Amino acid sequence: MEQGFGGYSGQAYSPAGDKGRFVLPPLFRKAVKESSGGRILCLAKHDRWNCLVGFGLSRKMEFEAQLDREEERALRLGRDFDRETRSSQLNGFTEIPFDDSGRFVMPDYLRGLGEVQDGLYFQGGGRFFTCWNPAELDCMGDDWAAAKAACAALVAEAETKARKK
């Protein structure tokens, strides 16, 4: 990983802007720049949750080791493991440029996969972060209570700001 990259933490919300643009929040923007060595955001559908997953380019270097761990675990547990399919899932992300203000345009197919509508809630996850439609996050279980509360507060704050304009 790039020197200085400390992972993704925190929460933020970005309402959909004009021309279908979103803003990568400052905390996440800084970490993506550190991880990518520039302004490239990697986005993909999360493999288990109904959201998107984001990260910087340096994470690509981790994928082979992750595949090795997942394959070893599957073998140990007597489960099937299709390395090619899993590799395609991990490496199937889209590289999206963003400007100095963090604005980026999300491809329509990713918006559909993540059921993204009027805004994106960002939740730090260490080596990656998740991007949620707040309504989809609200469907998650009790172990997501803190993220749901943060999301609701950030959405309310954004709505208040929008009404004042």
Residue 85 has pLDDT above 80, yes or no: yes
Residue 1 has pLDDT above 70, yes or no: no
Quick one: angle between helices 63-76 and 83-91, nearest 10? 150
CB contact at 8 A, 154 and 12: yes
Residue 2 has pLDDT above 60, yes or no: no
* Strand ordering across the sheet containing 94-97: 11-15, 119-124, 129-132, 52-55, 40-45, 94-97
Tell me the average pLDDT across 65-75: 93
Residue 136 has pLDDT above 60, yes or no: yes
> Domains in the chain, please, with CATH?
11-57+92-164 (3.40.1550.20)
Reading the block at residue 47, the tokens are 């493999």
